[in-house]
Each structure stands twice: as structure tokens, then as C-alpha cells.
Chains A and B, each alone.
Chain A
Amino acid sequence: MSDRFVYVTYIRTTPEKAWNALMQPEFNKLYWFGAFMESEWKQGAPWKIVLPDGRIADMGEIVEIEKPKKIVIKWRNEFMPEMKAEGWSRCTIELEAAGDTVKLTVLHEIDKDDSKFIKAVSGGWPKILSGLKSLLETGKPLEDIKPGPK
């Protein structure tokens, strides 16, 4: 009884730079369609994703954090009732140096079959992570990608 999404991308950067791009709101906004994550980035600290218009899209808590290698976030969507009803998901982001690149792995899982939430993040993560890779490698995000499900 579970569903999951896994995505791996290799980025020509350092684990420290990729970590900063993930944790710093000003950096987030450039590739996350104007949204950003907000947290004190300590174990047990609250965590949320704030949309450009100020609404809270998702919230949760930092379950595990080991800079610049691994972060685990307890994560629930807050404004789509049918996703919120599915309860808490868990998102694990891992960074590993590989040659002159960083292997970035995102594993997002929930204890529910055929999850609407996992379906939604399966559309979102490839855009966000493609934009992050472009930003780190070229200095420019993929600003033209539309944030819709396709």
C-alpha cells in the first residue's frame, strides 16, 4: 500500500552549491516557478513551500538533515483537498559527488496506492530539477516552463 516517485539527475556542480540552490529562497524562486521552501533547516524544524502569491502550498517538518548530503522532509499538500486527505508523504533528497558532477536523487513516497499527490509531484519534479540543473550549469533557469501538470 504505497506509491513513490524517483528521479535522478547529474549536475555539473559541487554538493555545496547544489545544497545552497535547494535551501536558499532567492535561489529556489529562480527555478521553482517563483515558489520557495522556508525552514530553519534543522531536524524537527517546520518546513513549508510558499507560492509567489504568498499562499502556503505544502507544509511539514525536517525529519533528517545532513549538509550537504541528505535531507528528509515530512511533506503534505495544503490546498488541494484530495491530496491533503492522503496525509503525509516523505521526500528524501540525496546529493553525492560523482566525478565532476553531483548525483541528485529525489525519492518522494507516500503510504497510499495510486496516490494523486505522487501523480502531481511526478509532473512537477522533472521540471523543477531540469530548471535547477540548467541554472547551476548555465547560470540561467528554464523560466519558460509552465508550472501546470504537463
Chain B
Amino acid sequence: MSDRFVYVTFIRTTPEKLWDALTKPEFTKLYWFGASQISEWKKGASWQLAYADGRIGDTGEILEIEKPKRLVIKWRNELQPEMKAEGYSRCAFDLDAADGIVRLTVTHEIDAADSKFIKGISGGWPAVLSNLKSLLETGNAFAVPAALSSCNKG
């Protein structure tokens, strides 16, 4: 009784730069369609994802943190009642570096079969992580395609 989404991308950068891009709000906003993660980034600290319009889309807690290698977040959507009802998911970010390239693996899982939440983030992560890769490699994120703007609605 579980569901998961896994995404792997290879980015020409360093683990430290990628870590900053993942955890610093001013950086996150550039590729996460205006959203930012807010946390003190310590084990047990609270965590939230604030959308561009100021709403808190998701909340949770830092379960594991090992800079710049691994981050695990306990994560629940707050805006969509049917997703909130599914309870907490767990999102792990793993960074592995070799020869100037970092492999970023995002594993987002939940203890619910056919999860609406996992379906939702399965559409969002490829856009966010594609944009993150563009930003780190070219210095520019792309504009939010109209087709993707639903990502902002949580």
C-alpha cells in the first residue's frame, strides 16, 4: 500500500551549488515558479513550501539532513483536502558527484496506493527539476509555460 515517484537528473555543477539552489529561498524562487522552501535546515526543524502568492502549500519537517549529500523531508500538502487526507509523504533528495557532474535523485513516496498527491507531484517535479538544471547550467530559468501554471495552484 504505497506509491512513489522517482526522478533522476544529471547537472553540470557542484554538490555545494546544487545544495544552495535547493535550500536558499532567493534561489529556489527562480526555478520553482516563484515558490520557496522555508526551514532552518536542521534535523527536526519545521519545513514549509510557500507559493508565489504567499499561501503555504505544503508543510512538514526535516527528517534527515547531511549537507551537501542528502535531505529527507516529511511533507504534506495543505491546500488540497483530498491530498491532505492522504497524510504525510516523504521526499528524499540525494546528490552524488563525479567529474564535474552531480546526479540528483528525488524519491517522493507515500503510504497510500494510487495516491492523488503522488500523481500531483509527478507532474510538478519534472518541470521544477528541468528548470533547476537550466538555471545552474545556463544562468537562466525558463518562463513559466502556461501549460504548467497549474503547478502553482498546489
Contacts and interface: CB of A to CB of B under 8 A. Distances in A.
A137 B98 contact: no
A133 B142 contact: no
Given A98-B148, A99-B147, A103-B147, A142 B142 contact: no
Interface residues of A, number: 25
**What secondary structure prevails in chain A residues at the interface with B?**
mixed
Interface string B85-106: 0000000000000111101000
Contact of A130 (B9, B98, B138, B145): B9
A140 B101 CA distance: 13
Interface in B107-154: 126-127, 130-131, 133-134, 137-138, 142-148
Given A10-B130, A134-B12, A100 B100 contact: no
B45 interface: no
Given A10-B142, A99-B143, A99-B144, A130 B99 contact: no
Contacts of A142: 10, 12, 101
B8 interface: yes
Lowest 10 A-B CB distances belong to which pairs? A99-B145, A98-B145, A8-B126, A130-B10, A144-B99, A10-B130, A126-B8, A98-B147, A9-B130, A101-B142
10 contacts: A8-B126, A10-B142, A12-B138, A12-B142, A98-B145, A100-B142, A101-B142, A130-B133, A138-B137, A146-B98
Interface of B: 7-12, 98-101, 103, 126-127, 130-131, 133-134, 137-138, 142-148
